[in-house]
Amino acid sequence: MEKEVWGRIRSEMLASLGKDAFTNWIDPLEMLEAGGRTAHFSVPTSFIGNWVARNYGESIMGRLNAEGLKVDRLDFKSVSAARPAASITAGTAAEAIPIPSVDLPGSPLDTRFTFDSFVVGKPNELAHAAARRVAESGQLTFNPLFLYGGVGLGKTHLMHAIAWETQAIRPEARVLYLSAEQFMYRFVQALRFKDMHSFKEQFRSVDVLMIDDVQFIAGKNSTQDEFFHTFNALVDQGKQIVISADRAPGEIEGLEERIRSRLQWGLVVDLHPTDYELRLGILQSKAETQLKTMPDVQMDAGVLEFLAHRISSNVRVLEGALTRLFAFASLVGREITMDMTQECLADILRASERKVTVEEIMRQVADHYNLRMSDLLSPRRARSVARPRQVAMFLSKMLTSKSLPDIGRRFGGRDHTTVIHAVKKVEELKMIDSQIAEDVELLRRMLEA
């Protein structure tokens, strides 16, 4: 009998709400029972439960009573969570419903994106420190915190880490993380379903709001407008805001001036492109994790260094390469050698191949050491010439895909063993001679720029 009642209410609500809202919110509800003045529903997620309670609770209750069921309480249990998602009691205002932090309309957080798994190096140390401070202090040291940087440099990772850490330290804090795209989507939905009131309430009831890839809303005027108001409301209430973008606030085209200046109020930090050391650190940390799950895979020394040299600054590409290597090694039961790496990752290596030529390297190196290019090709063996020549050979090996004999030939017809010797020598020197290490790094950066 309750099932029939619920069936009738469903049809009524379909007619009154329209197909979209019905499909989104009412269709997922399953009525379990209605006894002892409470109607029990199961919902797929607590978010849906909350939403329905807030927005349609009164209407559902009214209809149940009209059908003769004496009900003054609705109870929504999420099938995915142990605790009740939401409940509503007749006569209570909607804001009486507590919103647990997991139920905010945010995006799920990636469990791998924590501070523990974030490798810190020169290019990201400032961003990392700022993110930690925001998560740990619980005070508004930087508000907003604006993180920016190119693709795959760890912006999303840091934001999730802030969310995890905040929830760990202050479980009562309501943390909402979502992409700017989702923000816009929810905003548009709210407009469409005339739900602006609950939209505003939801966004304004959080303690920490994090919006990822905010460049997305540039040029989308009404979304920007709403973002601006949300932003201001939260800042006025002393709530923390964390924003990310792929470039600095001043460089986002189509972003309103008032938003731009508001974003610059807090701390603006950038994630620089990764350098060799950071890439190596990340590779080592990820390889360690992989090795834990595949203990019989063996990896040759030098493979990680090779990858750190040859793959672009985008960490996502780096990770992808490593994952593929391990998958391949465990499938065919082979050791990860240099040869296997080059074969298995040929496409990735080719794609991130730098367009640097041996000639350019020679020119830059000669310039840097105040020599002529012809000196590098000459048979002169004075250290003032031989050392720069070795550096140039080393860089040629690292930054181009030319073979050792090929490189030797270009340096005045030298033998490939000379190139091998040069590469070894520079590798050694980099460890003990900070001047050489600096020179090499500087040259590499200029060549890659």
Catalog residues that contact ligand ADP under the rule CB under 6 A: 113, 117-119, 124, 149, 151-157, 282, 315-316, 319
Contact flag: residue 124 with Mg ion (CB under 5 A): no
Give me the least distance between CB of 267 and ligand ADP, in Å please: 17
Give me the least distance between CB of 177 and Mg ion, in Å please: 11
E-state strands within 256-326? 267-271
Give me the least distance between CB of 125 and ligand ADP, in Å please: 10
**Cβ count within 10 A of residue 270:** 19
The residues, ordered by sequence, that sit 6+ positions from 241 with a Cβ below 8 Å of its Cβ are: 143, 144, 145, 208, 209, 210, 211, 231, 234, 235, 266
Q: Which does 153 bind (CB under 5 to 8 A by kind): ligand ADP, Mg ion, none?
A: ligand ADP
What is the total count of residues that contact Mg ion (CB under 5 A)? 2
How wide is the angle at C-alpha 88 spanned by C-alphas 85 and 94, nearest 5°? 100
**C-beta closer to Mg ion: residue 211 or 365:** 211
Strand order in the sheet with 73-78: 30-35, 38-43, 73-78, 84-89
Q: Which does 315 bind (CB under 5 to 8 A by kind): Mg ion, ligand ADP, none?
A: ligand ADP
Alpha helices in 194-245 (DSSP H): 196-204, 221-236
d(CA 10, CA 19): 11
**C-beta closer to ligand ADP: residue 120 or 377:** 120
**C-beta closer to ligand ADP: residue 49 or 154:** 154
Contact flag: residue 156 with Mg ion (CB under 5 A): yes
d(CA 241, CA 234): 8
**C-beta closer to Mg ion: residue 155 or 279:** 155
d(CA 181, CA 110): 18
**C-beta closer to ligand ADP: residue 208 or 362:** 208
Q: Which does 119 bind (CB under 5 to 8 A by kind): Mg ion, ligand ADP, none?
A: ligand ADP
Give me the least distance between CB of 16 and ligand ADP, in Å please: 42
* Length of the chain counted residue by residue: 449
Q: Which does 282 bind (CB under 5 to 8 A by kind): ligand ADP, Mg ion, none?
A: ligand ADP
Check: CB of residue 118 under 8 Å from CB of residue 131.
no
Whether residue 144 has a cis bond before it, omega within 30° of 0: yes
Q: Which does 154 bind (CB under 5 to 8 A by kind): Mg ion, ligand ADP, none?
A: ligand ADP
d(CA 103, CA 79): 13
User: Which residues of the shown chain bind Mg ion in the complex (CB under 5 A)?
Assistant: 155-156
